[in-house]
Structure 1
Amino acid sequence: MEIKKRYIFIYGILVTILLMGCLIFTSNNKVKADPIDLTEEENEKIIYLTFDDGPSILTNNILDILKEKNIKATFFLIGNQISDQKAVVKRIYKKGHSIGLHTYSHNYKRIYSSKENFINEMLKCQNEIYNIVGIKPDVIRFPWGSHKKLNQNFLNMLHKNNFRVYDWNAFMSDGINYKTPVNKLYMEATKTTITKHPIILLMHCDYMHKNTCKALPMVIEYYKRKGYEFKIIEEDTPEQFFPFKIKR
């Protein structure tokens, strides 16, 4: 009997050591594989609807759909389009949506000619928004994404200016081809639900994105059926940006 108890005790110790080893291995692999911020939301059903390249006349159509569905979203605005669409910007703000910065000119060569130019573009866009609704947003999105543009030094510079970076992990190809069929846009927007949490969905709301407006109600209903909570990007939303190599 004593021998049997001793074997059970030893077996229990071995199982415990094995489980601890598995946890350590998994944890280490997770850190190495994903340098993006890992948040407590990562296992929750949360989606952020985000729209780039507004404001435009068509942005009103997006806002109408969001109102009908009782959903809030985040709009990354281009500064040089704001003066002609003041009413749209005011509506975005008054209806409780979030506003982000998407540079002033959206001109690739100008924006990415230097880090200083990039920051000045964001500050100029921020000032345009402030003149309309009296707020200075600090959430930003790189035109065409931060991949191969962001590094630790650049990120530090952005943080010194109180900017926070938000890319995406799901998207419609409306930014590549605004004529993309509605069904394809829908399939693109809903195919990453298994692996990505929270979901940050990239869409566009410039004047030509009519198919985006047609696909949006179906996308919203899909995520509602799946039990997702819709959130806006705001001050306490953890940054989410594409991984970059850290030089040692």
Structure 2
Amino acid sequence: MRSVRGMSILAALLVLASALGYREGSLLTREGGAPQHQAVIHKVEDEYGPPYSPWSSSESTSLSSSTPPQARSTADREVEHLQKSDASRKIAYLTFDDGPSSHTPRILDILQRQHVQATFFVIGKERETDKRMYRRIVEEGHVLGNHTYSHDYSRIYRSTEAFQRDVERLNMLLEEQTGVKPDILRFPGGSNNHISWKAGGRRIMASIAREMSKQGIAYFDWNVSSADAAAVTLDKQSIVQAVKQNSAHKDRIIVLMHDMDKKTTTVEALPEIITFLKREGYEFKGLDKEESFRCQFLQPPA
């Protein structure tokens, strides 16, 4: 009888221990297991591609469900923190095409006051005032990009060789004036423009894009248009509204604006655009060749 009672007590203790162990194991799995969602940054090809999604279980850094939090290395925790913080960042790349112009000093003044970095896709100009603007752009920490020397569609899109010559002519001028030889460019009209067909045929853009890529030159289009090219001088509020609408639901934006003498309202709209984007949580960066976010309308064949 005493033996049976002892066995019953032992069985009860085993059941209790098992239950406690299960609960402890469950708690361990919840705290130390793989997170349900791990943030990662996806390369966005262009604004017409699949919608940006910051969540991907296949690309996340997962942890064993049996690994307690205290067993995770400092490196593991730092990697996870960086991935989450990078995915939550919103970045705006302001870009200005066709300068320098009479408005470049004002644009630079605004950017300096707002502590904002931008990218200037410039063309070739030989006046001393324009050369000073090339230098000031670089001296104030902005990025110089090549937008061809002549910006003459009939000349640059005649052939791949003609385009290369025009790009190199501007690179030589910029390197001479600033010490910087740009390795990024924006095609006049964008990489998928059809105006080029008249000069070089329907395949000219693919041919040029492929050659530029082979030479290690990265080209950038845009996924937010300010619409300031819709008219010679578009009204200020239309420009501001275009940026607001076109940037909606995007975490990485490349904003197209123009730095030209007739684009007075673009300069007037710039402070309001920057204020809006800051309020929406964007930080500002200049484009660079290694940047993972690259908007390209045309993907050249290999």
Query: Which TM bucket (shorter chain)?
Result: 0.7 to 0.9
| 3-state DSSP of counterpart to 1:240 | coil
Which of 161, 165, 179 aligns to 1:120? It is 165
Separation in 2, partners of 1:168, 1:54: 17
On the 8 A contact 1:74/1:233 being kept in 2, the answer is: yes
The answer on 1:156 being equivalent to 2:201 is: no
What CA deviation, in whole Å up to 9, does each residue of 1:146-196 have, x standing for no partner? 115532x43331123221110001112222323111000000111122343
The offset of 1:236, in angstroms, is: 1.9
Equivalent residue, structure 1, for 2:276: 222
CA distance 1:236–1:179, change in 2 (3 Å) = same
Equivalent residue, structure 2, for 1:58: 103
Number of residue pairs the alignment of both structures matches = 216
| 3-state DSSP of counterpart to 2:164 | helix
Which of 213, 229, 232 aligns to 1:178? It is 232
Question: What is the alpha-carbon root mean square deviation over aligned residues?
Answer: 2.8
Separation in 1, partners of 2:87, 2:170: 31
The answer on 1:199 being equivalent to 2:244 is: no
Separation in 2, partners of 1:115, 1:195: 37
- After TM superposition, the structure 1 = structure 2 runs for residues 31-180 of structure 1, keeping only pairs within 5 Å, are 34=49, 44-80=89-125, 84-148=129-193, 150-151=205-206, 153-180=207-234
What CA deviation, in whole Å up to 9, does each residue of 1:100-159 have, x standing for no partner? 0000101111111111111211111111101101110110000011115532x4333112
More relative contact order, 1 or 2 (CA 8 Å, 6+ apart): 1
Equivalent residue, structure 1, for 2:35: none
Equivalent residue, structure 2, for 1:240: 295
Bigger drift between 168-177 and 39-48 goes to: 39-48
| 3-state DSSP of counterpart to 2:190 | coil
What CA deviation, in whole Å up to 9, does each residue of 1:192-237 have, x standing for no partner? 2234331000001112211001100000000000111111002321
What CA deviation, in whole Å up to 9, does each residue of 1:64-115 have, x standing for no partner? 1101111010000001356551111111000000000000101111111111
Separation in 1, partners of 2:213, 2:87: 23
CA distance 1:181–1:147, change in 2 (3 Å) = same
CA distance 1:246–1:177, change in 2 (3 Å) = same
CA distance 1:246–1:131, change in 2 (3 Å) = closer
Equivalent residue, structure 1, for 2:10: none
CA distance 1:179–1:205, change in 2 (3 Å) = same
Equivalent residue, structure 2, for 1:189: 243
Letter in 1 for 2:172: N
Separation in 1, partners of 2:87, 2:268: 29
Larger Rg: 2
On the 8 A contact 2:222/2:295 being kept in 1, the answer is: yes
Query: So what's the TM-score if we normalise by structure 1?
Result: 0.78
Separation in 2, partners of 1:84, 1:67: 19
| 3-state DSSP of counterpart to 1:173 | coil
Identity %: 35
Structure 2 stretches lacking a partner, 5+ long: 1-43, 55-82, 194-203
The offset of 1:60, in angstroms, is: 0.6
Separation in 2, partners of 1:208, 1:46: 28
What CA deviation, in whole Å up to 9, does each residue of 1:18-59 have, x standing for no partner? xxxxxxxxxxxx99x739xx9997874111000000012211
Separation in 1, partners of 2:131, 2:167: 18
Structure 1 stretches lacking a partner, 5+ long: 1-29
On the 8 A contact 1:169/1:196 being kept in 2, the answer is: no
